[in-house]
């Protein structure tokens, strides 16, 4: 078994030294290396299977011991090893005492050899494994039974039906189906049974729920499958408490090989307890935008309330068909979580089985898809996971099991992770290109207008010079038409050849000034733009 290690240090020497140690060892793997405390906490969230955190006492600007204390509080079952600057046994003992005060399990010197580092890492890894195994044994009561909670992203996505079929697939073993949708549970109707007792009857029991209590409260609805129903009166759901919910989950784990709990779509304290203490949580959604947005909100809410981390929630895409506009890839981008597996649309045969309460007897493509999950889950229970290892995902159990119209239903690859930024970048790229193009065109237009303005000013000065030399009035005080015409000709001659010719109306020749207006070429058809300039006349006679 390989133990993953997180290294928190800003020192290149420490990183290179321990990197050589990890390269020489087949028992430890460097999962991530970060320079500060913020990076360490982020890495722990991204790598929940880390077993050892190695912290340089000089990390985080010399606050390595404070970082070790923070990591210990955030993940008390992870072994912490401090890298210290100690050169003799006395300094090592002092450093060990200081490290133990902040929750570290061991210390190593910066220049420690390969054998010493591996020895200390092995001791810390063994402690972490034993601690996790003890906590797991306390939670499960030493029993390897599996508790699967099935929740709906919103009403009508088929979470209750999926829970029923998942329990039906595992009924060859000792399987219990629990309707924990206390206010509006319908599993009894789907199974076609009438009930008087419900899961709420177990809420008033003092002490632990026993096997006899479970037998007296559940109903047998198939070979090896027992149903613990929701109350017929929805207001009785208020009798359920978080402590009672936890006691029921513990009893189901101890007395059943597989317990499937339908927790519905609404969240309250008892159902939050079930979601928190379940071994697996399936969140059911359908390939439509309201349900997918609901799934994203549910996952975010569970994360905010510290009920269930997003990485521990398995997304199920229900009622999938080839006619759907929302593909599994798009669904992953919307929810920002990979799809564990898909369940095909059952069609008219499935709808008929639901309406006649014969879901447990009528085979459909949906039954085939869910059956593969249930059979694989029961097989996995026969080989309990090793201490410290996370249980295999339901997604790994279904690998192409569902069949519809002779084709296997596709399942997302286990390593796949949706990139929420990919779709956003695809949408933003054309907008960025358009804005850039508009900026370039505006700059080109501004340059053209400025050039035309300077040209008009030079032409006006040329005309003003002509008037100043020849004189604007004759001996009788009348304007000289020949001088005015000559000034206009000089203005036109001063304009470059690429500029459109201008009329006499665009050239105003007066005794004290000459004004010129030129037309500027525009990049937008139908839009006129002009530049005007004037030059004063100074008589030179």
pLDDT tens readout for residues 352-399: 877 777 777 777 777 777 766 555 544 444 444 333 343 333 333 333
Distance separating alpha carbons of residues 359 and 367, to the nearest angstrom:
9
CA distance readout (Å), 443 to 324, 379, 437, 438: 46, 70, 10, 9
Residues whose CB is less than 8 angstroms from the CB of residue 156 and which lie 6 or more positions away in sequence, other chains included = none
46 close to 53: Cβ distance less than 8 angstroms: no
Give me the pLDDT at residue 275, please: 92
Architecture of domain 3-140 in this structure: 3-Layer(aba) Sandwich (3.40)
Tokens standing for residue 371? 């059956």
Task: Name the strand (E) or helix (H) holding 533.
Answer: strand 529-536
Question: Counting Cβ atoms within 10 Å, is residue 535 exposed (0-12), middle (13-18) or buried (19+)?
Answer: buried
Please give the order of strands across the beta sheet that includes 507-509. 507-509, 513-520, 529-536
Instruction: Classify residue 408 by its DSSP letter.
Output: E
Please, how many CA atoms are within 13 Å of residue 496, restricted to the half-sphere of its CB?
11
Distance separating alpha carbons of residues 160 and 149, to the nearest angstrom:
11
Supply the DSSP string of 432-455, one letter for each residue. Answer: HHHHHHHHHHHHHHHHHHHHHHHH
Give me the pLDDT at residue 170, please: 66
Superfamily of domain 146-418 in CATH is: P-loop containing nucleotide triphosphate hydrolases (3.40.50.300)
Residues of the chain with CATH 3.40.50.2300: 3-140
Distance separating alpha carbons of residues 259 and 333, to the nearest angstrom:
31
* pLDDT per residue rounded down to tens, the chain (541 residues): 678 888 988 888 888 888 888 888 888 888 888 888 888 888 887 887 788 999 998 888 888 888 888 888 888 888 999 998 888 888 888 888 888 888 888 899 888 888 888 888 888 888 888 777 766 655 555 555 788 999 999 988 888 888 888 887 765 557 888 988 888 888 888 877 787 888 888 887 766 677 778 888 888 886 568 888 888 887 888 888 888 888 888 888 877 788 899 998 888 888 998 998 888 899 999 999 999 999 999 999 999 988 899 988 999 988 888 888 888 889 999 998 898 888 888 777 778 877 777 777 777 777 777 766 555 544 444 444 333 343 333 333 333 333 333 333 333 333 334 444 444 455 567 778 888 888 888 888 788 878 888 888 888 888 888 888 888 887 787 888 888 888 888 888 888 876 766 777 788 888 888 888 888 777 666 566 777 888 888 776 5
Distance separating alpha carbons of residues 440 and 362, to the nearest angstrom:
67
Residues whose CB is less than 8 angstroms from the CB of residue 175 and which lie 6 or more positions away in sequence, other chains included = 167, 224, 225, 226, 256, 257, 258, 259, 260
Give me the pLDDT at residue 417, please: 41
pLDDT 10s digits, 462-513: 888 888 888 888 778 788 888 888 888 888 888 887 676 677 778 888 888 8
CA distance readout (Å), 273 to 245, 250, 276, 279, 415: 7, 11, 5, 12, 29
Residues of the chain with CATH 3.40.50.300: 146-418
Place of tokens 């890839």: 329
Tokens standing for residue 156? 């009508």
């Amino acid at each position: 078994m390989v133990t993953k290690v997180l290294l928190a240090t800003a020192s290149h020497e420490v990183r290179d030294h321990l990197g050589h140690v990890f390269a020489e060892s087949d028992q430890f793997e460097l999962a991530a290396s970060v320079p500060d405390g913020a990076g360490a906490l982020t890495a722990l969230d991204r790598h929940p299977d880390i077993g050892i955190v190695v912290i340089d006492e000089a990390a985080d600007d010399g606050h390595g011991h404070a970082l070790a204390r923070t990591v210990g509080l955030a993940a008390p079952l992870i072994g912490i090893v401090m890298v210290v600057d100690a050169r003799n046994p006395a300094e090592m003992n002092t450093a060990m005492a200081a490290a133990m005060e902040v929750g570290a399990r061991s210390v190593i010197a910066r220049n420690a050899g390969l054998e010493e580092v591996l020895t200390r890492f092995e001791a810390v890894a063994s402690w972490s494994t034993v601690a996790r195994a003890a906590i797991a044994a306390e939670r499960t009561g030493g029993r390897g039974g599996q508790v699967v909670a099935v929740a709906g992203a919103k009403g009508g996505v088929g979470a209750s039906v999926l829970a029923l079929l998942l329990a039906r697939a595992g009924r060859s073993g000792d399987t219990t189906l629990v309707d924990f949708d206390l206010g509006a549970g319908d599993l009894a109707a789907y199974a076609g049974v009438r009930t008087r007792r419900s899961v709420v009857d177990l809420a008033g029991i003092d002490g632990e729920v026993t096997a006899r209590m479970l037998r007296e409260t559940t109903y047998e609805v198939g070979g090896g499958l027992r149903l613990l129903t929701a109350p017929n009166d929805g207001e009785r759901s208020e009798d359920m408490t978080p402590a009672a919910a936890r006691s029921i989950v513990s009893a189901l784990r101890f007395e059943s090989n597989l317990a499937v709990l339908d927790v519905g779509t609404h969240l309250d304290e008892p159902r939050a307890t079930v979601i928190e203490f379940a071994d697996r949580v399936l969140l059911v959604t359908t390939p439509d935008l309201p349900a997918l947005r609901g799934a994203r909100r549910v996952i975010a809410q569970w994360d905010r309330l510290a009920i269930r981390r997003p990485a521990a929630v398995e997304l199920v895409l229900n009622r999938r068909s080839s006619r759907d506009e929302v593909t599994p890839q798009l669904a992953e981008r919307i929810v920002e979580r990979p799809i564990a597996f898909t369940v095909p649309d059952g069609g008219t045969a499935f709808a008929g089985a639901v309406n006649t309460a014969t879901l447990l007897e009528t085979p459909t493509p949906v039954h085939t898809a869910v059956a593969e999950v249930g059979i694989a889950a029961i097989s996995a229970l026969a080989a309990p996971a090793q201490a410290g290892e996370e249980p295999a995902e339901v997604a790994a159990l279904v690998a192409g099991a569902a069949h519809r119209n002779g084709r296997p239903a596709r399942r997302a690859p286990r390593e796949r992770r949706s990139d929420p930024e990919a779709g956003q970048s695809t949408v933003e790229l054309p907008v960025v290109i358009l804005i850039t193009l508009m900026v370039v065109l505006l700059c080109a237009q501004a340059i053209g207008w400025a050039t035309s303005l300077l040209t008009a000013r030079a032409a006006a000065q040329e005309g003003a010079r002509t008037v100043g030399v020849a004189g604007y009035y004759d001996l009788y005080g009348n304007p000289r038409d020949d001088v005015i015409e000559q000034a206009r000709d000089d203005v036109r001659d001063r304009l470059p050849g690429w500029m459109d010719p201008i009329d006499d109306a665009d050239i105003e020749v007066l005794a004290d000034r000459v004004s010129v207006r030129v037309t500027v070429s525009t990049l937008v058809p139908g839009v006129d733009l002009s530049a005007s300039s004037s030059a004063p006349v100074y008589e030179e006679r």
